[in-house]
Chain A
């Protein structure tokens, strides 16, 4: 058996976050990096999600990472030399009850201190600006610089760019064993290849908990499948990504139009996942519920054809905050997973932050709200 390949950092998991971390480790810090991906880069949650890139709706605590991630998104084309279809045309929340309108107004007031400026739009302003909503809609809240991007191409583009900068990216490589000894980390794949590194990052999405538990840090993840769909192409009009804000899960709908003209839709109840097969399935009834709610708030949807649905395997934490930052128990070990359906929006930014934290021990952001230790008691 050949000697283990050595690098400064081993990244386990080739989702958008792993690929972006590998990219920034090379691009900004010049560290040698090896990325191991069980199947293909960007094929799970980071490739199958809705594609929203929004700050609006996040808590003040999460706003620093959201701001930073938006700046990273705006530099992606220059960094990668590729268009990931990031379009900062805004994120518009709408609601149909006065109670929600009051909550949205309060949020807009409070979140300003965290650096997010929102524009509240009346029913009449919504009508003159967009003209697509039913009379049920009472108010809108626009975050003008948020936007959306294409999940299918993002992770692979970061991985290709990392590879161009010298990162070793191994797809179809399933990790069988991980351990830490006096010489750092040793990782062995199911086909017997070995790697060694000083530092290890675990960013395997829904499958991360198995590895963190092995290091004595279990994570209480729940797994869910969002319900995504796309319509036939319609005449394109550049516009914001629109989300229905409601306390009822069946009413929570969001949609965005891509330049090709198709409208991408998500929302409603999430379905069960098959973690072992790494597959997630949309529940047929939820598709018809989406139709009902979308028709209710945007009547013109009634005459649109839906052509395809899909889902992905997402993981959720009990407090809806991701797990991000260094291990509390093992020197040189880092985590970034459990993004609660929000990982794509901040993925490139998380990669940049994690690379900085790994390379320098600092990242200019307070990662303590995301520390895995917060689950130590519960575990």
Chain B
């Protein structure tokens, strides 16, 4: 085994588990790094011990897939070097830098499979910095990991399938959902429909969720323009105000879950110096990958929502495909044949998912035009408390037409989250204020650490 290739998988969600499984099938023992307490990732988040709500309640129509992923990873556990609660905080040439329970380790690799998942994509709304505002993902985690709701009366605001899914899960769990407010147009375009028809059963399931919410008496609005989130510093949010064809409406609530699809967690790819390319459908920069998940850097493979937002089914296919590609590239015995046999079907699956993704992006578009209309006093960067007006002043007064320039001048995206939650909106504000194409505004460069690192971390080994 001593000259077996060293392979590290980052992430134990759908992509990471399926990648690990393919590696174990090839007789290898990969290291599997995961930030979570348990495997499953975010979508199939595995519950802490003693959790009362069962799979069917938590995962609904996806119960069988969640159970299968958890069961399959359990079966792999003895054959992988699984390291939960571990942050991959940096990446240098051929070495992944991780920290677990305050102890650092440097992991040299021949192949790195980054299955880092996604976080919510957010558009600021005046007042979104009040206590009681959560991302849709956070609202769902509260339910899946702590069996609690984010509030007693919740408004969901945003667009995309997760908006309706989380709202339905809240209703099913007995939470009071005051309204679901969607910024998407009333009717999807024909182009959007043809994309959605790539996965007709999933599209129907989405319609079923909407019907269920209506039946439960939840106020549903489409084509809304968010006006503001009301509240006080002491008590947090108390209402969401939106404008739509029905005029201006105010929905009282004590918590808001918001999000517009997802954004890839591509920090490791960036630190690994992988090339990125602008994706016009979602108006975001994504790491460049080939059909099988090879990045522009030899030895670095990207799979799952961390590279393309294709959802959990797509992530399972992409994880397996990237692992098979890595094994083939390493000329592992038998790997080329395996890859040749399986890749066509996996690629076909991914192409279907990609068509569906394009349909979703058109049916539930990222409301980029809202950025231009945000009042100057709206906080954009919540970590550093930078307003839309300050950002616009950097564009108009200081010629900062590129997002890293605006970051240097204004501190936008410089805080704890490094622009995860404000970077896309900040780019739209800069583009609108300077009349610059969004792709020319660029993307916020990643700096280590991927997430904040407490300074009591102990070194991997004594200095050379």
Binding site for B on A (CB under 8 A): 40, 43, 47, 152-153, 156, 160, 231-232, 250, 260, 281-285, 287-289, 291-292, 294-295, 301-310
B residues 313-341 in Cβ contact with A at 8 Å? none
* A151 to B, closest residue via Cβ: B408
Stretch at the interface among B50-58, B63-71, B147-155, B445-453: B445-453
Are A285 and B459 neighbours in the complex by a CB distance under 8 Å?
A: yes
Point out the residue from A283, A289, A310 that lies within 8 Å of B92, measured CB to CB: A283
Q: List 5 A-B contacts (CB under 8 A).
A: A160-B398, A284-B95, A294-B455, A304-B454, A304-B455
Are B457 and A288 neighbours in the complex by a CB distance under 8 Å?
A: yes
Are B454 and A310 neighbours in the complex by a CB distance under 8 Å?
A: no
Min CB gap A304→B, angstroms? 5
Are A305 and B452 neighbours in the complex by a CB distance under 8 Å?
A: yes
B residues 415-446 in Cβ contact with A at 8 Å? 415-416, 418
Are A309 and B449 neighbours in the complex by a CB distance under 8 Å?
A: yes
Q: Residue B243 at the A interface, CB < 8 A?
A: no
Cβ contacts B287-323/A at 8 Å (1 or 0 each): 0000000000000000000000000000000000000
Min CB gap A298→B, angstroms? 10
When chains A and B are docked, how far (Å) is the Cα of A153 from the Cα of B406?
11
Min CB gap B385→A, angstroms? 9
10 shortest A-B CB distances, which residue pairs? A305-B452, A302-B456, A152-B408, A284-B90, A284-B97, A291-B455, A288-B459, A308-B447, A306-B453, A307-B452
When chains A and B are docked, how far (Å) is the Cα of A156 from the Cα of B398?
8
Min CB gap A235→B, angstroms? 16
Min CB gap A201→B, angstroms? 23
Min CB gap B36→A, angstroms? 20
Min CB gap A66→B, angstroms? 27
Are B456 and A306 neighbours in the complex by a CB distance under 8 Å?
A: no
When chains A and B are docked, how far (Å) is the Cα of A275 from the Cα of B59?
52
Min CB gap A303→B, angstroms? 7
B residues 58-107 in Cβ contact with A at 8 Å? 89-90, 92, 95, 97, 104, 106
Are B408 and A301 neighbours in the complex by a CB distance under 8 Å?
A: no
Contacts of B453 in A (CB 8 A): 287, 305-306
Contacts of A309 in B (CB 8 A): 447-449
Chain B CB within 10 Å — which of A250, A291, A301, A307 has the most? A307
Are B447 and A303 neighbours in the complex by a CB distance under 8 Å?
A: no
Contacts of A291 in B (CB 8 A): 455-457
Are B415 and A287 neighbours in the complex by a CB distance under 8 Å?
A: no
Are A308 and B418 neighbours in the complex by a CB distance under 8 Å?
A: yes
Point out the residue from B104, B448, B455, B463 that lies within 8 Å of A295, measured CB to CB: B455
Min CB gap B98→A, angstroms? 10
When chains A and B are docked, how far (Å) is the Cα of A295 from the Cα of B457?
10
- For the A-B complex with A47-B408, A295-B456, A309-B448 known, give 14 more contacts whose Cβ atoms are closer than 8 Å: A156-B409, A231-B455, A260-B411, A287-B448, A287-B449, A287-B453, A288-B457, A291-B455, A292-B459, A295-B455, A304-B454, A305-B453, A305-B454, A309-B449
Q: Residue B405 at the A interface, CB < 8 A?
A: yes
Point out the residue from A260, A301, A308 that lies within 8 Å of B455, measured CB to CB: A301
Are B452 and A232 neighbours in the complex by a CB distance under 8 Å?
A: yes
* B97 to A, closest residue via Cβ: A284
Are A302 and B92 neighbours in the complex by a CB distance under 8 Å?
A: no
When chains A and B are docked, how far (Å) is the Cα of A302 from the Cα of B398?
38
Contacts of B89 in A (CB 8 A): 284
Point out the residue from B104, B398, B405, B415 that lies within 8 Å of A288, measured CB to CB: B104
Contacts of B454 in A (CB 8 A): 302-306
When chains A and B are docked, how far (Å) is the Cα of A304 from the Cα of B456?
8
Chain B interface secondary structure, helix, strand, loop or mixed?
loop
Q: Residue B414 at the A interface, CB < 8 A?
A: yes
B residues 395-416 in Cβ contact with A at 8 Å? 398-399, 402, 405, 408-409, 411, 414-416
Contacts of A285 in B (CB 8 A): 106, 459-460, 463
Contacts of B458 in A (CB 8 A): 288, 292
Contacts of A283 in B (CB 8 A): 92
Contacts of B448 in A (CB 8 A): 282, 284, 287, 308-309
When chains A and B are docked, how far (Å) is the Cα of A335 from the Cα of B399?
28
When chains A and B are docked, how far (Å) is the Cα of A294 from the Cα of B454?
12
* B401 to A, closest residue via Cβ: A40
* A152 to B, closest residue via Cβ: B408
Are B405 and A302 neighbours in the complex by a CB distance under 8 Å?
A: no
Are B457 and A281 neighbours in the complex by a CB distance under 8 Å?
A: no
**A306-B449 CB under 8 A given contacts A160-B398, A292-B459:** yes
* B96 to A, closest residue via Cβ: A284
B residues 103-133 in Cβ contact with A at 8 Å? 104, 106
Contacts of A231 in B (CB 8 A): 455
* B409 to A, closest residue via Cβ: A153
Are B416 and A289 neighbours in the complex by a CB distance under 8 Å?
A: no
* B415 to A, closest residue via Cβ: A307
Contacts of A289 in B (CB 8 A): 459, 463
Contacts of B398 in A (CB 8 A): 156, 160
Contacts of B405 in A (CB 8 A): 40, 43
Are A307 and B456 neighbours in the complex by a CB distance under 8 Å?
A: no
**A288-B460 CB under 8 A given contacts A303-B454, A305-B452, A308-B418:** yes
Contacts of B414 in A (CB 8 A): 308
* A290 to B, closest residue via Cβ: B455
Are B452 and A306 neighbours in the complex by a CB distance under 8 Å?
A: yes
Contacts of B463 in A (CB 8 A): 250, 285, 289
**A305-B455 CB under 8 A given contacts A160-B398, A310-B447:** yes
Contacts of A47 in B (CB 8 A): 408
Point out the residue from B104, B402, B416 that lies within 8 Å of A232, measured CB to CB: B416
Min CB gap A345→B, angstroms? 19
Are B418 and A307 neighbours in the complex by a CB distance under 8 Å?
A: yes
When chains A and B are docked, how far (Å) is the Cα of A304 from the Cα of B452?
10
When chains A and B are docked, how far (Å) is the Cα of A308 from the Cα of B402?
20
